[in-house]
Amino acid sequence: MLFNLINPFALEIILLYTDMNDIPTYDAIIVGGGPSGSTCASILVKSGINTLLLDRANFPRVKLCGGWLSPPIWNVLGISPDEYTPRLWKFKRVHIHFHGRKYTLKADGYFVRRYEFDDFLLKRSRVQNTEHNVRQIEKDSEGYWVIDNQFRAKYLIGAGGTHCPVARSLFPKPDNLQCGTQEKEFEGDADEIAACRAGEDGEPEILLHDDMKGYSWNVPKGNWLNIGSGTLIARDVLPAWTKARKFFEDNATIPHSSIPILEKMKGHGYVFFNTDHLAQCQANNAFLIGDALGLAQPMTGEGILPAVLSAKVCATAIAEGVPEAYKERLQKHPIIKDFKNLHAIQTGSKKFFKKKGDKPYKKSWLRDRITAKVFAMMFSGKQLPGSRFIAKLIG
Ligand SMILES: Cc1cc2nc3c(=O)[nH]c(=O)nc-3n(C[C@H](O)[C@H](O)[C@H](O)COP(=O)(O)OP(=O)(O)OC[C@H]3O[C@@H](n4cnc5c(N)ncnc54)[C@H](O)[C@@H]3O)c2cc1C
């Protein structure tokens, strides 16, 4: 009888309200447990913010990545290399091969295995986390974000990498294209590793591609080897890898004509930094961090540092009760300002070379050495001297 008195619309609202009240509600939900998600979680949890992290993968999980870290990472993470308990390989120099010459240069940085690194960061955050593939994101009548009708929160942080569902559902698509990669990290005995290595001293070997639109790498991590190629334009990656593979096989300490283990490479594109991306980092209590925002260093593709940096800036703004400050703080951060300069230099030089046309490359040993030095500096997380000035000049 009572049921008849309630009109269907009111009934629907009551049911929806009851449903919403049944849904576990958090202050913040983070989608993605990579370095950006776990760094964000660590700060939110420490600040007493009731946080849930959702990742579709069960950790530890494989993530395609060279695992190279530049030294500023420790400061951003708030730990010293000694406090990082999994395996860590430090490098002090880098061998850069470019236009047929080898340059051995001072450099500074670390290698990790992402399988271990991401798991370490996630555990360290002490966040409540659940294995869940996020598909549907809606906002309810109280202004809370509702995920797949199962979880609800005031703040939603998209840390789901290149195909982050938060970015896809709530933010415009970035208009610059994804880079291309081919990579493999495999465990082998000493002979197997040596057969794929150019170089014997355990330091990273980098092959800068002749057109400077990408590079290949070869990095030993104990009994593991990480090898691969990355190119600014995705379709260039397969021919680039074919050349790089031949280079590493021809120069290996145990020469081989064709190494079967290098057949099955895997690819995963991601978006490099573009100053325009910064404008899309937040809207309506939803935030993007790391690869979900497209922040990787515009020339080297270093993505872990900007991922944890954006996570820290975002989480700190939320924890301080000024979430709207995230965008401005991110834009003003010295590392991001440096990326802006590099992006302006890159855009300016692209225009310059377009005007110049496809003139044949004139060999210059000095120019090649300077280029290799610039890369060694960037691999070490150093800012380029005069980059602001050059950006203003040609950007
Ligand atoms: C081949 C290759 C080599 C690289 N080498 C380096 C390097 O040496 N050094 C460096 O600094 N950077 C490198 N990068 C870039 C670096 O890997 C990324 O920039 C970095 O991982 C970004 O971290 P993130 O936390 O933003 O995203 P990710 O590490 O991609 O984490 C995203 C997480 O979100 C989860 N997720 C995705 N979709 C969903 C969903 N629908 N629901 C729930 N969870 C979801 C994923 O399972 C994943 O755990 C490399 C990238 C590639 C592809």
What is the number of the ligand 1 atom nearest to the C-alpha of 183?
1
- Determine which residue's CA is closest to atom 19 belonging to ligand 1: 303
Ligand 1 atom nearest 296 alpha carbon:
19
Q: How far apart are CA 160 and CA 314, in angstroms?
A: 15
Q: Choose one of 29, 54, 55, 237 to mutate for the ligand 1 pocket test, by most ligand atoms within 8 angstroms of C-beta.
A: 55
Stretch among 115-124, 149-158, 173-182 having the lowest mean pLDDT:
173-182
Domain-located, residue 166 = yes
**Cα 361 to the chain's mean position, in Å?**
32
Check pLDDT > 60 for residue 319. yes
Average pLDDT over residues 108-129: 98
- How many domains does the chain contain in total? 1
What average pLDDT does range 295-313 have in this prediction? 97
Can you read off the two tokens belonging to residue 190? 């000493």
Tell me what pLDDT residue 386 has. 86
Compute the distance from residue 118 Cα to the ligand 1 centre, in Å.
10
Cα of 56 from ligand 1 centre, angstroms: 13
161 lines ligand 1 (CB under 6 A): yes
Question: What is the CB neighbour count within 10 angstroms for residue 3?
Answer: 6
pLDDT above 70 coverage of the chain, percent: 91
Q: What is the pLDDT of residue 7?
A: 52
Residue 103: closest CA among 318, 369, 311, 383: 369
309 has pLDDT over 60: yes
**Owning domain of residue 172:** 2-62+115-176+271-340
Average pLDDT over residues 186-197: 87
Q: In this predicted structure, what is the pLDDT of residue 18? A: 45
Mean pLDDT of the chain: 91
Task: Quickly state the pLDDT bin for 282 (edges 50, 70, 90).
Answer: very high
The pLDDT of residue 71: 97
Higher pLDDT, 200 or 94: 94
Whether the per-residue pLDDT at 11 is higher than 60: the answer is no
Look at residue 70 and tell me if it is in a domain. no
The CATH number covering residue 125 comes to: 3.50.50.60
Check whether 259 has a pLDDT greater than 80: no
- Check whether 261 has a pLDDT greater than 80: yes
Average pLDDT over every residue of 203-210: 96
Q: Is residue 170 part of a domain?
A: yes
One-letter amino acid of 150:
Q
User: Residue 358: its pLDDT value, please?
Assistant: 61
| Structure confidence by residue, pLDDT tens digits, 373-395 | 999 999 999 988 888 888 888 76
DSSP-derived secondary structure letter, 275: G
* Cβ of 130 less than 6 Å from ligand 1: no
Q: Does residue 320 form part of some domain?
A: yes
> Which residues lie across from 296 on neighbouring strands?
272
For 49-90, write each residue's pLDDT tens digit.
999 999 999 999 999 999 999 999 999 999 999 999 999 999
* pLDDT at site 6: 47
